[in-house]
């Protein structure tokens, strides 16, 4: 493209400092082959990320090896990052355009990283603090929210976990036997996944940092006092007053 102010010898009053030379650069036209190759690589990586997830499931179910949670996340996020970089560089043309655009985007990612870092820092140290506070948490329901979409005078108020409320309602409606039949069909299997997720077992414990174990759990409801022992030993904290049924008043 032509810039009328590029001749340096002649003084140009529209461009007295001769900046024209810095700002003009032809638009880069990416070759069609490059675009097609990038699309191919992106599709291939989609196959890889699905394959990796299936492979991890296969390891866990067939070989009975429990992979740590971060393996799943790390592999999937690494592949996604590579894909995102390709899109940014070749489809969004960061490789060819003004570097200031890349700088803007990287600073944005830096802000995101800080955001996530401090959140995770807080989360991962919750367990160290909460045993002290644990006896202040009381199992007392969820304060009467309305169930389902209904509002107004005929809305049903519930003070249990919604999961428990709707399960018990269904059991009353169709009977336990029918409920079990339906559950066998509806839970896990029809929709792609054949992997039944497991909760904590005697051999493996999925930690749930920050709350008294099983306090609000629908599957393994635990009394307030009994959760303490697990917490105390886990973090080596002070033994909690397990016999004290009444929460301490502050």
Partner 1 sequence: MTTLDSRSNPLGQDVQGSEPLWKRYLPGHHWRSGEEEFDACTLGFWLFLATEVLLFAGLFCAYTVLRYKHPEAFANGSSYLDWRWGALNTVVLLISSYTMAASIRAFQLNHQKQGRMLLATTFICGLAFLLIKFTFEYTPKLSGWFISFDPALHHYASLIDKEGMWGLFKHVEGYGGKAPGQFFSYAFSEDAWEPLWWSVYYCATGIHALHVIIGMSLIAWCFRRARMLAYGPSHYTMVENTGLYWHLVDLIWIFLFPLLYLIH
> Which residues, 204 to 223, sit near partner 1 by CB under 8 A?
206, 208-211, 216-219
Q: Do residues 131 and 235 lie in contact, with contact meaning Cβ atoms separated by under 8 Å?
A: yes
Q: Which residue in this structure is represented by tokens 């036997």?
A: 177
- Tell whether residue 139 is a contact of partner 1 (CB under 8 A): no
In the complex, minimum distance from the CB of residue 140 to partner 1, in angstroms, rounded to a whole number: 15
Residues 221-250 that bind partner 1 (CB under 8 A): none
For partner 1, give the closer residue by CB, 90 or 240.
Answer: 90
Which is closer to partner 1, CB of 127 or CB of 232?
Answer: 127
User: Residue 192, by phi and psi: left (phi above 0), alpha (psi -120 to 50) or beta?
Assistant: left
The Cα 13–Cα 11 span in angstroms is 6
Tell whether residue 87 is a contact of partner 1 (CB under 8 A).
yes
Does 186 sit near partner 1 (CB under 8 A)?
Answer: yes
For residues 97 and 226, which CB has a smaller minimum distance to partner 1 in the complex?
97
Binder of partner 1 out of 140, 143, 153, 192 (CB under 8 A): 192
43 touches partner 1 (CB under 8 A)? yes
Half-sphere exposure of 144 (CA within 13 A, CB side): 2
Stretch that binds partner 1, among 133-141, 155-163, 223-231, 238-246 (CB under 8 A): 155-163
CB of 193 to partner 1, least distance (A): 4
Q: What is the DSSP string of 102-151?
A: HHHHHHHHHHHHHHHHHHHHHHHTHHHHHHHHGGG--------EEPSS--
**CA pair distance 160, 201, nearest whole angstrom:** 25
Q: Binding residue for partner 1 (CB under 8 A) from 27, 177, 243, 249? A: 27
């Amino acid at each position: 493209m032509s810039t009328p102010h590029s001749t340096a010898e002649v003084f140009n009053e529209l461009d007295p400092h001769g900046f024209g030379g810095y700002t003009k650069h032809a638009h880069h036209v990416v070759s069609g082959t490059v675009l097609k190759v990038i699309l191919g690589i992106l599709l291939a990586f989609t196959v890889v990320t699905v394959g990796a997830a299936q492979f991890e499931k296969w390891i866990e179910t067939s070989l009975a090896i429990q992979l740590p949670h971060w393996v799943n996340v790390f592999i999937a996020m690494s592949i996604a990052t590579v894909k995102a970089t390709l899109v940014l560089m070749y489809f969004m043309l960061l490789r060819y355009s003004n570097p200031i655009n890349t700088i803007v985007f990287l600073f944005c990612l830096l802000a995101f990283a800080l955001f996530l870092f401090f959140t995770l820092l807080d989360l991962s140290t919750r367990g160290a603090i909460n045993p002290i506070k644990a006896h202040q948490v009381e199992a007392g329901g969820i304060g009467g929210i309305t169930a389902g979409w209904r509002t107004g005078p005929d809305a049903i108020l519930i003070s249990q976990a919604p999961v428990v409320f709707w399960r018990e309602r269904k059991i009353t409606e169709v009977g336990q036997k029918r409920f079990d039949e339906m559950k066998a069909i509806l839970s896990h299997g029809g929709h792609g996944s054949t992997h039944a997720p497991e909760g904590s077992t005697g051999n493996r414990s999925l930690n749930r940092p920050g709350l008294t174990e099983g306090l609000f759990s629908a599957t393994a409801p635990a009394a307030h006092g009994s959760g303490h022992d697990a917490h105390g030993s886990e973090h080596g904290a002070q033994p909690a007053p397990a016999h004290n049924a009444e929460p301490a008043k502050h």
